[in-house]
Structure 1
């Protein structure tokens, strides 16, 4: 609808034309909102079906919830952190073979065991069949891990 359609003969706004324009806009918005709600309802149904399929909680073992087996085979990255430090880019570029970087840990302190970057345990280095390994000395409880995320 053009501005000329909204203006009356004497330059005042045609209230009927304006009301029709608003009514059409409101109908379009309701159609859009209705389509969004239908998509949200479909997503909610799919989520409910997924959550309800196992009949148990994630806190239980695999035998309590057979659907938990689906995530048990997902690979994660485990890393061990000896220590860390912060240096400037200038000092980083000056490093060469034989350079020593001081870390924030004392010799003999336990290493951090990280899973996908989240601390889960502390441990010490061991050598088994000429390969390095780590012996867990302190495993952090799930509740403590959740507290650290916040």
Structure 2
């Protein structure tokens, strides 16, 4: 009787070991008020740096890591420089009479230049997540072209 119970417990424990899913889906949590996009895996929200780290550890995702990291680094550097350049004249205005407002203008320009980097990161992150969730299968791209045919003008969809 002991053998049967031990074998049953071992079989049950073995099934528990296989209950883990190795390829958990990554989902994109949309933006909210005062909150950037978040990425969720296994019910845990990830920052963009953690998302890049997850992709860096996966050998099949190497083609997505470098563009994601470059876009994120460019955005972070420009936003940090912009924030510093905007708040420097503001603090000078509190303590002195004549702050250099040109620095604030340059900081605002840095923030504006960071917007394309942020959008590029979001776009590339979405395509990387789609590739990861589809089991490393590249999605076919759909394009619409305007064509003139013997029947007239029309829109052609190519897969």
Question: TM-score scaled to structure 2, two decimals?
Answer: 0.22
Q: Which has the higher contact order (CA 8 A, sep 6+)?
A: 2
Question: TM-score scaled to structure 1, two decimals?
Answer: 0.23
Higher Cα Rg: structure 1 or 2? Answer: 1
